[in-house]
Amino acid sequence: MEELHQGHLGWVRSVAFDPSNEWFCTGSADRTIKVWDVASGVLKLTLTGHIGQVRGLAVSNKDTSYMFSAGDDKQVKCWDLEQNKVIRSYHGHLSGVYCLALHPTLDVLLTGGRDSVCRVWDIRTKTQSFALSGHDKDVCSVFTPPTHPPQVVTGSHDSTIKFWDLRYGRTMTTLTNHKKAVRAMALHPKENENAFVSASADNINKFSLNPKGEFRHNMLSQQRATINAVAVNEDGVMVTGGDNGSLWFWDWKSGHSFQQAQAIVQPGSLESEAGIYAACYDQTGSRLSFTMEKLLGGQTRNGASKTKIVCTLGPASRSVEMIEKLLRAGMNVARFNFSHGSHEYHQETRDNLRTAMQNTGILCAVMLDTKGPEIRTGFLKEGKPIELIQGQEITISIDYTIKGDSNVISMSYKKLAEDVNPGDVVLCSDGTISLTVLSCDTYLGLVRCRCENSAVLGERKNVNLPGIVVDLPTLTEKDKEDILQWGVPNKINIIALSFVRKGSDLDEVRDFLGVHAKSIMLVSKVENQGVANVDEIMEKTDAFIVARGDLGMEIPTWKIFRAQKKMIEKANALGKPIVTATQMLESMTKAPRPTRAEATDVANAVLDGTDCVMLSGETAAGAHPRLPEAASDFLTAWKLNAKAIVVVTKGGYTAELVAKYRPSVPILTVVEQECPEEAASVASRGLVYRGIVPVIATGGSTEEKVRFAVEVAKKKEICKGGDLVVTFRMINGSSVVETLLVD
């Protein structure tokens, strides 16, 4: 490998060369497009505008200043690279756009995506000429050859390849040679070859470009991988890239593989992250560019962690020694779980945290996680668990004084008989026991149920009512006591609110906090019916937690993944910090290393754009006025290839605006406060935001504070002498963006 270009913060999904061979561009899961100089490999430009990963790129062969992009955000854009801005957008796809292509002679753009449709656009008028529908699954590859009459070829996850007549928008031929998803296709650049190749997980096939798409031959070896990328040059050297990092070179005519290579897993990445997602030859055919699936999403260019870690301090992690280890390992926020433990217990842990912070010199924010309203089963006779048999009937009473047995149990929710109906489901003990409602007696407060599975039920187990709108307050009397008697005196930075159901819940909490509401960040956990009101909640909350545990009781497990991605996407668009919580690394309660599935889970959350991952059992029990200005310093940092952004702020709001734009470099937040306690509070708040590195500077002028921050950055190896740093501050209500050369 001659050159390795690094700069993206996520998996690189697409690559395209300029027809003049002066530059090439790459699109990534970090939602950016980067333009690189072909000769030197230097990064020339970074473009932002997509809010989902960029999957497709193409450069006009008529005017090389025009580039087209498509992404998971359903957006298709035309960029003017002389002005560095979007000049046209093409709207019509119902879901993510996975591929795009330009007709070699006509002003026609083709896009295919998850909605199973290939759309044909007039480039200049932005009108949709045709919607080529016929595939059953995602359209993930498309090209259009210079033939007459004009035609389009599409490949799909439904394992078929379709030829379309571009004059009438009709299917000409459907090829069914593949048995698995067709993920990549490539046209031979020489017109007289009149052929193309398609690839899937089962084989690599070559076809003629005539209207019938006649099959020519298979490639004669098995790469034994899902082929995501194919490229071929004029000399007939074909390359295929697989999801296992394999890179095979083939002779176009004979179908023999004459060379194999393996992508090298980068330091800190998993073996599964060597996958190749895109490949492209330059205009000479002598230079091949391919993209490796590399875990850069949670790292800055200098290796400093950007995604934050919230750790729960519990029995296994509350000693000074263990907390020091957590701080050095990267803990940014310490979570105190008030579902368990007394005030005295948590006070001892808080004191230990203070000592550990003083010993290490590392700042850490404090989160009070409220117990919140909950429904639990009652006590049992003699305290003995009862055995429930599948098919048996049992009665639930709202009289919590009853001691239950195999015939009758109690629950703490007084409106149970009023709110549930026959056919509804009652889940007990983390969903391990499922009861179907048969009848309700609202007068006596009784609910008759049938057991859907055999299980053992203990005392005081949690209860979920999927799909039921429960009438419970956001803050219980216990929560209010915990906040006022423990949280406020201990100067907590964050309150995590359990079971937030609507935006007005947050207004009520702020009214309760009174003067303390300004200094305490409210983080909403959406665990039940709050999913339906997620937009309203996100507008009101300071930050957001995807609480996958209880969410999994409300919606099917297979939908949690999609719900998590949608919530992260919404929060990113609003610039609100988002935390992904529950069972991120659950196996580490017993094992020293996470499973591969867990590691991939964390990686996906990071690459989706989560600000924090929250570890619970793993650590507790285990061994808008200034938005343009905020964007400007982010763009300045990219254009100058700066190593850091220094933001001078009093309340932290300015730094949070900058963090909204997800810059690839650390944001050093210099807090200007005369009172050390207030400065620490503002600095701690920033620990929740992705990429922010708080710096407390007391006394001196603003320039002196900036220089102090730069010295901190040098000590942390964020920058060195000769590097550029972008500074951002407010002077008399106006924003000032400057560059600073590091001594």
Positions annotated as catalytic residues are: 335, 376, 525, 582
Dump the DSSP string for 104-160: SSSSEEEEEETTSEEEEEETTT--EEEEEE--SS-EEEEE--S-SS-EEEEEETTS-
Please provide the DSSP assignment of 46-113 as one string.
EEE--SS-EEEEEE-SS-TTEEEEEETTS-EEEEETTTTEEEEEE---SS-EEEEEE-SSSSEEEEEE
Amino acid at 139: V
Sheet strands (E) in 157-233 = 161-165, 170-175, 184-187, 195-199, 204-208, 215-218, 227-232
Q: What is the DSSP secondary structure assignment for residue 299, as one 8-state letter? A: B
- Distance CA(36)–CA(46), nearest Å, equals 9
How is 248-264 classified by DSSP, letter by letter? EEEETTT--EEEEEEPP
CA dist list (Å): 503 to 40, 537, 570, 684, 725: 52, 4, 15, 25, 39
Tokens of 671: 């807090």
Sign for the pseudo-dihedral over CA of 550, 552, 555, 559: positive
Q: How far apart are CA 682 and CA 688, in angstroms?
A: 11
What count of other Cβ atoms lies within 10 Å of the Cβ of residue 21? Answer: 14
Please give the Cα distance from 209 to 164 (Å, whole number). Answer: 12
CB 199 within 8 A of CB 248: no
* Residue 536, SS3 per DSSP: helix
Helix/strand/coil for 211: coil
Fill in the DSSP letter of residue 714.
H
| Pairwise CA distance, residues 293 & 42, whole Å | 21
Q: Which two tokens stand for residue 373?
A: 């309203």
